Amino acid sequence: MTSAVFQPSQRINVIAGLGLAALVVLSLIVGVSPLSLDKVLSDPEAMHLLVVSRLPRTLAAVLCGAGLAIAGLIMQTLSRNRFVEPATAGTAQSAELGILLVTLLFPAAALWVKTLVAGGAALIGTSIFLVTAHRLPPQQPFLVPLFGIVYGGVIGAVATFAAWQADLLQFLSVWTNGEFSGVLRGRYELLWIAAVMVAIAWLVADRLTIMALGREASIGLGIDYARMMQIGLVIVSVITALVVVVVGMIPFVGLAVPNIVSRLMGDNVRGTLGWVAAGGAGLVLACDIAGRLIRYPYEIPVGTVMGVVGGAVFLWLLFRRGGHG
């Protein structure tokens, strides 16, 4: 018996790269005021639209998508469970609670201060989730995501209650439902830190693969398990906090993309990380473009589009697993 192995050849690399490039170009063109790329150089207004709005929006979608997919991959590695991601296991909700509290207490704080507080809150919330997840019986793989959903729900409820008391519910929805329509030059650049986090993940890719083999295998191979856990937690928390603060949370990217890549290519992070990042970027870009087109000229937030697309993918993954036994 030979197993069906999907080896990414040079050709598939090129096709995937072209696909992502096509999505980027489409994202630059599509919008309320149409933009044709051939006029950009001659028409200063078109150039302005491109540089101030479309390009930042496109880059934001790419950075958020790649970052969230990697955050999901790392979270699945650290919890040794395929069904968790930042949006469903308390990370995003903790970041939302953090930024809500800092907005309440220090409304004049700079955006980077708020991001820092959101990141710290995400770190604490995710640590508590992971400590608990490691105590759940490994024979019951669905307990971990179920616990995550309940745990995230409780933190989200606390945030909603606090926001309601302070009359800040509208703010909260900005952070909980991702949307790129407000992204302009000067308001998304923090997201480049997510790219730095993805680069760090690339540097420790082999260690992440070994971490997925468990604590004992990691220590046996000379990895500082506690230290790697902290690095992974920081990457997940920083990426999630950045996305929550800058555009609002986008669900399911971190769940769907790493799972599909794992199905097709396995779990050797060194080989799959680029695909996970590119897949996340492509998925978020595609959902954002769809959100711009479905009710043209009105927009549907990318978080809503992703909720529908990602939900369908998640169900497919669950049923596939059921079929495997």
Interface residue list for other proteins (CB under 8 A): 1-3, 5, 80, 138, 205-206, 209-210, 212-217, 219-224, 262-263, 266-268, 270
How long a stretch of residues is the chain?
325
Cβ-based nearer residue to other proteins, 27 or 209: 209
CB nearer other proteins, residue 44 or residue 137: 137
Cβ 179 to other proteins shortest distance, Å: 35
Shortest distance, position 229 Cβ to other proteins, whole Å: 14
Which lies closer to other proteins via its Cβ, residue 191 or residue 204? 204
Structure tokens at 104: 């309440």
**Crossing angle (nearest 10°) for helices 269-293 and 10-29:** 30
- The answer to whether 64 and 247 are in contact (CB under 8 A) is yes
Burial class (CB in 10 A: 0-12, 13-18, 19+), 44: exposed
Least Å distance between CB 265 and other proteins?
Answer: 8
What whole-number distance in Å separates Cα of residue 148 and Cα of residue 143?
8
Query: In the complex with other proteins, which residue's Cβ is closer, 270 or 320?
Result: 270
Distance in Å, CB of 133 to other proteins, minimum: 14
Instruction: State the DSSP H helix or E strand holding residue 77, giving kind and residue range, or none if neither.
Output: helix 55-79
Euclidean distance between CA atoms 87 and 240, whole angstroms = 8
Which pair of structure tokens corresponds to residue 116?
């820092």
Q: Are 306 and 284 in contact (CB under 8 A)?
A: yes
Phi/psi region, residue 110 (left: phi>0; alpha: psi -120 to 50; beta: rest), is beta
Query: CB-wise, 7 or 170, nearer to other proteins?
Result: 7
Work out how close the CB of 127 gets to other proteins at its nearest, in angstroms, rounded to a whole number. 20
Determine if the peptide bond prior to 297 is cis (ω within 30°).
Answer: yes
Radius of gyration of the chain (CA): 20
| Residue with Cβ nearer other proteins (5 or 41) | 5
Question: What is the closest distance, in whole angstroms, from the C-beta atom of residue 201 to other proteins in the complex?
Answer: 13
